[in-house]
Amino acid sequence: MNNQAVMGNFTDVNVLMHAAEKIRDAGYTDFDIFTPYPVHGLDKVMGVKRTILPYISFGAGATGLMTAIGLMYWTGAVDYKLSIGGKPFFSAFFGLPIMFELTILLTALATFGGLWYLCGLPRWYNEYQHDEGFRRAQDDIFVVSIFSTDKRFSLDTAKHLLTELHASDVRVVDAQV
Amino acid sequence: MNSAVSASLSADSTQSKALHDAFNDEPLREPLVLGKPTLHDVTRKVLDIIESKPNIKFLAALSVTLMMALWGGVCIAYTIAEGVGVWGLNSPVFWGWDITNFVFWIGIGHAGTLISAILFLFRQKWRTAINRSAEAMTIFAVVCALTFVLMHTGRQWLFHWLLPYPNQMNMWVNFRSPLMWDVFAVNTYGTVSLLFWFTGLVPDFATARNFVKSKIASKIYSIFSLGWTGSARHWHTYEMAYMIFAGISTPLVLSVHTVVSFDFATSVIPGWHTTIFPPYFVAGAIFSGFAMVMTLLIIAREILGLKDYITLKHLDNMNKIILATGMMVGYAYAMEFFIAWYSGNTYERFVFINRATGDYAWSYWIMISCNVISPQVYWFKKLRRNVPLMFIISIFVNIGMWFERFTIISTSLHHDYLPSSWGYYSPTWVEISIFIGSFGIFLTLFLLFAKFVPMLAIAEIKSVLPGSQPKHHHHDEQH
Cβ separation B236–A48 shorter than 8 A = yes
Cβ separation B227–A33 shorter than 8 A = no
Q: What is the pTM of this model?
A: 0.89
Residue with the larger pLDDT of the pair B309 and B399: B399
CB pairs under 8 A between A and B: 222
Number of domains in chain B: 1
By mean pLDDT, which of A148-152, B99-103, B177-181 is the weakest? A148-152
Look over chain B and give the mean of its residue pLDDT values, rounded to a whole number. Answer: 88
CB contacts, 8 Å: B178 with chain A: 97
Q: Is the pLDDT of residue B3 over 50?
A: no
Confidence category of residue A155, pLDDT binned at 50, 70, 90 = confident
Per-residue model confidence (pLDDT) at position B27: 53
For chain A positions 40-59, those within 8 Å of chain B (CB to CB) are 40-46, 48, 51, 53-54, 57
Per-residue model confidence (pLDDT) at position B66: 96
Confidence category of residue B24, pLDDT binned at 50, 70, 90 = low
In a domain, B17, yes or no: no
Cβ separation B237–A121 shorter than 8 A = no
Per-residue model confidence (pLDDT) at position B28: 59
Domain residues for the domain of B66 are 33-158+190-413+423-463
Per-residue model confidence (pLDDT) at position B12: 45
Question: Is there a cis peptide before residue A122, judged by omega within 30 degrees of 0?
Answer: yes
CB of A93 within 8 Å of a chain B CB? The answer is no
Burial class (CB in 10 A: 0-12, 13-18, 19+), B122: exposed
Query: How far, CA to CA in Å, does B114 sit from each of A97, B109, B126, B252?
Result: 20, 9, 13, 10
In a domain, B163, yes or no: no
For chain A positions 135-164, those within 8 Å of chain B (CB to CB) are 135-140
Confidence category of residue A55, pLDDT binned at 50, 70, 90 = very high
For chain B positions 95-154, those within 8 Å of chain A (CB to CB) are none
In a domain, B39, yes or no: yes
CB of B252 within 8 Å of a chain A CB? The answer is yes
Per-residue model confidence (pLDDT) at position B1: 41
Contact partners, residue A160, CB within 8 Å, separation at least 6 = none
Interface test with B, best of A21, A71, A101 (most B CBs within 10 A): A101
pLDDT in tens, B173-197: 989 889 899 999 999 999 999 999 9
Interface test with A, best of B199, B249, B260, B475 (most A CBs within 10 A): B475
Confidence category of residue B247, pLDDT binned at 50, 70, 90 = very high
Helix (H) or strand (E) holding B334: helix B312-342
In a domain, B73, yes or no: yes
Report the C-alpha gap between A174 and A6 in whole angstroms. 9
CB contacts, 8 Å: B476 with chain A: 40-41, 44
CB contacts, 8 Å: B187 with chain A: 105
Percent of chain B's residues with pLDDT above 70? 92
Q: CB neighbours (10 Å) of residue A101?
A: 26
Question: Is there a cis peptide before residue B466, judged by omega within 30 degrees of 0?
Answer: no
In a domain, B337, yes or no: yes
- Chain A residue with CA closest to B45: the answer is A139
Per-residue model confidence (pLDDT) at position A57: 96
